Structure 1
Amino acid sequence: MSERIEDNDRELVIKVQNGDLNAFSILVDKYKNKSLSLAVSIVKDTFLGEDIIQEVFIKVHSKIKNFRFKSKFSTWLYRIVVNTSYNELKKRKHTIPISIYEISEDVRPGSTNGKSLSIEEQKKYIKYGMMLLKEDEALILRLFYLCENSIKEIEDITNFNSSKIRVNLHRGRKNLKRKLISILGAEIDSLL
């Protein structure tokens, strides 16, 4: 299946390189949500993440003629997302703090009231828990689980070595579980 996706991306990229704007729209639609999630995990701000993704797809469109298929398109794209996000943080000279008050009331600790969680509620809690993780842990968890990248692809995207990636995957899972337990208590079983 992954090979078919890769072949489809290759065809779309070739079409974009030949000037097909519809093919570019298909690539944008296919990758915008995962790219946004990745950017937000780094900058911790949805509105800034949306601005970054617009900038990313402008960069992708202008540089796609130089794409030579040495990696998967998604690996190349996520590398641009990561670099652009970190560059934006450097411009701002600090990370954007997340306040508990910015989180919707229904995802704050103790708000489950013993009821089982819907899929949407589960997503909210996981998103909240991810925002509480260390930057590298959240980034690697998103790349591995959300974007479905291999360890090798994550190496290419982040320039981290494989042992750092494996350690952050392990710690990230453990820390996410710990944070979700502190938020949800017994409800954690319906989530994991």
Structure 2
Amino acid sequence: MEKIKKSDSELIKLYKEGNEGAFECLLHRHKARVYTTVLLIVKDKYIAEDLLQEAFIKAVKTIKSGRYNEEGKFLPWITRIAHNLAIDYFRKEKRYPTVILEDGSKVFNTLEFAEDSFESAQIRKDTHAKLREMIQELPPAQKEVLIMRHYMDMSFQEIADNTNVSINTALGRMRYALINLRKKMNKHNIAYDQNIYPR
């Protein structure tokens, strides 16, 4: 494909004016970077390809609706869309992570040793559903780092790289997320390992 030496902003302007090839040029220019970002999070090339496609479809809709206003910053914007889709993917997955609080105690640790009777399995399912609900109520930056750490098993360095913050900021957000989560658990009387962390 012949390279068009135009900026992202110029290509978006052309696309808005009806030049379909301009968006194709943007896609070819940035898809590798966006794909890599998503792949680092989901660690599955097929899911990464799906989310990449979804991100660019979302971008098209936003640009066509006239809501795009990140002039000159197309790459960070499209990367953020893809990044958020990857986070949403994990949020929708019915996974039961072990969330470790800021003092080292595990959320629902006591449930891990329960016999897998129908009743205990149902209690565990309901409790984890409540946990996911409480995680959703956290401030966006805290929610993001907690999901990436506990649901995606990402290192703090990976989290820092993927969210464009320092490792100290990522650690700080995680600490506040866990403190807030514990407050919510106390409020709802949800158990964590009280042998390690007495009330």
Which has the larger share of helix? 1
Structure with more contact order per residue of length (Cα contacts < 8 Å, sep ≥ 6): 1
Query: If the length of structure 2 is used for normalisation, what is the TM-score?
Result: 0.48
Query: If the length of structure 1 is used for normalisation, what is the TM-score?
Result: 0.49
